[in-house]
């Protein structure tokens, strides 16, 4: 795609010379794209051999908006097979390697984005997230990743793995969002997207522009009240990451933030069980069928999804079963909303995984990211890069790890394999409080990084 990008950049130069003004706020900005996004003349395999050569004739909805804002697309990045796992490997392009340590996973399914950004092959890119596919590459590769609330950013007209017959909306919705090398780049791109009136491009996108008043309110609020939880007892954190998050909370407290420990919250086991069943019921079933139907070998990471443990509903679920799942989801959302209300929280800090990047094909399940997809709360992963003591190889307390009930379904604790890996935190606000999340995250990033 380099020729495509160079041609586009030259066109923008001519426009600026002729008109004296930029096309839009992203004029000339090189942007990378996850492979699922369509660009005319290029295929989107999403890691499936049968999709080789399916050249697009149009832009995905978000790409068209970004193009109109002046973005320059020059590369599409690798993903996991069918966008299904947190290890970006497939039979078309092979495996994405982690720039921090080539033996570790780069995350998925937007792993190519995370790896390219960390190597400064891109400064900002676009990924998608239905269970952590923006935030997991961010935490694995040490970059920033932002999953907005659903229906704030256009998602339509991508190449997806699911069967076209299944457009039920029974699962929680995927969303698109930016990954970047700096927090500023996340902020700039999100503002540009909303400033481009995305609801005119995609009818499912809500007609809500960027709310500067909300952003400025929390950017300038004298004292922020931040809730936090360190871990769920069923999915305990690896000691170095636990230390890094605790240290971050102490730092914020010293800076005058009101830090409120959340002692009681919905079990991550319940949230993950719901996520797995909803995903498989809505479109994951057809994805597995597609892989096996065409006889393509499944990648190793697909065998670590553990759907047999957390629930594989039948392909054709009854109306009552669907209603039960939808009611459960609303109850989970209500519980988290109540926590925000009763504790008077502006935001929550928590981990995005029980660990940092782990060995390839060993990532396992993702309850700490998928939980926020289930309740549709915006979430942002921030690397902790300022203090060398917070890298996973240098953090203390490496031997104090007690496995939890579900530790068998996440990566094992092997501190000797985390050389070069950084720590992270995840920040969360309530549904459609994206501007609030960005304002608070900017302040926290300034303190911690």
- Domain of 49 in residue numbering reads as 2-448
* Nearest CA among 61, 73, 78 for reference residue 193: 61
- What positions carry a catalytic annotation? 34, 109, 133
CATH number of the domain bearing residue 366: 3.90.1300.10
Q: Can you tell me the distance from the alpha carbon of 200 to that of 17, in angstroms, rounded to the nearest whole number?
A: 29
Alpha helices in 315-378 (DSSP H): 319-343, 367-375
The three-class DSSP label of residue 6 is helix
What pTM, to 2 d.p., does this model score?
A: 0.95
Give the rounded distance of the alpha carbon of 439 from its chain centre.
Answer: 19
Q: Can you tell me the distance from the alpha carbon of 373 to that of 359, in angstroms, rounded to the nearest whole number?
A: 25
Q: Model confidence over 143-169: pLDDT tens digits?
A: 999 999 999 999 999 998 764 434 455
Other residues' Cβ atoms within 10 Å of the Cβ of residue 187: 21
The three-class DSSP label of residue 62 is helix
Q: Is 42 exposed, middle or buried (0-12, 13-18, 19+ CB in 10 A)?
A: middle
* Nearest CA among 173, 206, 240 for reference residue 376: 173
Contact 126, 33 (CB under 8 A): yes
Q: pLDDT tens, position by position, for the chain (449 residues)?
A: 999 999 999 999 999 999 999 999 999 999 999 999 999 999 999 999 999 999 999 999 999 999 999 999 999 999 999 888 899 999 999 999 999 999 999 999 999 999 999 999 999 999 999 999 999 999 999 999 999 999 999 999 999 876 443 445 556 788 999 999 999 999 999 999 999 999 999 999 999 999 999 999 999 999 999 999 999 999 999 999 999 999 999 999 999 999 999 999 999 999 998 888 877 776 665 666 667 667 788 888 876 554 545 444 555 567 787 788 889 999 999 999 999 999 999 999 999 999 999 999 999 889 999 999 999 999 999 999 887 767 777 776 555 788 899 888 889 998 888 888 999 999 999 999 999 999 999 999 999 99
How many residues are listed for the chain in this entry? 449
State the DSSP H helix or E strand holding residue 251, giving kind and residue range, or none if neither: helix 239-254
Taking CA atoms, 183 is separated from 38, 169, 383, 428, in Å, by: 26, 32, 10, 15
The number of folded domains in the chain is 1
Q: Can you tell me the distance from the alpha carbon of 365 to that of 421, in angstroms, rounded to the nearest whole number?
A: 19
Q: Can you tell me the distance from the alpha carbon of 361 to that of 309, in angstroms, rounded to the nearest whole number?
A: 18
Contact 242, 353 (CB under 8 A): no
Q: What is the bridge-based pairing of β-strands 144-147 and 175-180?
A: antiparallel
**Looking at the DSSP assignment, which residues form a beta bridge with residue 177?**
127
Contact 428, 372 (CB under 8 A): yes
**Looking at the DSSP assignment, which residues form a beta bridge with residue 264?**
none
Q: Model confidence over 238-276: pLDDT tens digits?
A: 999 999 999 999 999 999 999 999 999 999 999 998 888
Crossing angle of the two packed helices 183-195 and 61-68, in degrees rounded to 10: 100
* Nearest CA among 219, 146, 129, 151 for reference residue 189: 146
């Amino acid at each position: 795609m380099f020729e495509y990008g160079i041609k586009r950049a030259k066109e923008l130069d001519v426009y600026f010379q002729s008109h004296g003004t930029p096309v839009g706020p992203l004029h000339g900005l090189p942007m990378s794209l996850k492979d699922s996004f369509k660009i005319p003349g290029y295929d989107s395999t999403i890691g499936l051999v049968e999709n080789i050569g399916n050249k697009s004739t149009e832009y995905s909805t978000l790409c068209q908006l970004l193009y109109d804002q002046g973005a320059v697309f020059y590369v599409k990045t690798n993903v996991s097979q069918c966008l299904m796992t947190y290890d970006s490997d497939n039979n078309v392009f092979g495996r994405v390697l982690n720039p921090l340590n080539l033996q570790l996973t780069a995350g998925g399914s937007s792993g190519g984005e995370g790896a390219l950004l960390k190597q400064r092959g891109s400064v900002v890119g676009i990924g998608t997230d239905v269970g952590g596919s923006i935030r997991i590459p961010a935490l694995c590769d040490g970059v920033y990743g932002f999953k907005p609330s659903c229906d704030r950013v256009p998602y339509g007209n991508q190449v997806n793995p699911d069967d076209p017959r299944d457009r039920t909306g029974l699962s929680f919705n995927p969303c698109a969002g930016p990954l970047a090398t700096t927090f500023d780049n996340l902020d700039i791109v999100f503002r540009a997207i909303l400033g481009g009136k995305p609801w005119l491009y995609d009818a499912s996108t809500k007609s809500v522009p960027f709310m500067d008043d909300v952003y400025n309110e929390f950017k300038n609020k004298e004292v922020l009240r931040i809730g936090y939880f360190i871990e769920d007892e069923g999915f305990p954190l690896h000691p170095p990451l636990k230390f890094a998050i605790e240290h971050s909370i102490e730092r914020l407290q010293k800076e005058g933030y009101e830090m409120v420990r959340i002692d009681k919250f919905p079990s991550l086991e319940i949230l993950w069980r719901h996520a797995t069943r909803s995903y498989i019921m809505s479109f994951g079933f057809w994805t597995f069928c597609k892989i096996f139907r065409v006889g393509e070998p499944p990648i190793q990471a697909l065998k670590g999804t553990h759907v047999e443990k957390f629930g594989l509903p039948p392909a054709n679920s009854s109306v009552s079963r669907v209603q039960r799942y939808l009611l459960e989801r609303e109850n989970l959302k209500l519980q988290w909303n109540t926590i925000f209300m009763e504790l008077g929280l502006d935001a929550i800090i928590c981990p995005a995984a029980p660990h940092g990047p782990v060995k390839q094909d060993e990532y396992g399940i993702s309850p700490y990211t998928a939980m926020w997809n289930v309740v549709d709360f915006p979430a942002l992963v921030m690397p902790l890069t300022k203090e060398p003591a917070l890298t996973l190889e240098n953090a203390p307390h490496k031997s104090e790890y007690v496995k939890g009930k579900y530790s068998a379904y996440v990566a094992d604790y092997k501190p000797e394999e985390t050389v070069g890996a950084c720590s992270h935190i995840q920040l969360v606000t309530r549904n459609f409080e994206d501007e609030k999340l960005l304002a608070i995250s900017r302040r926290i990033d300034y303190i911690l990084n």
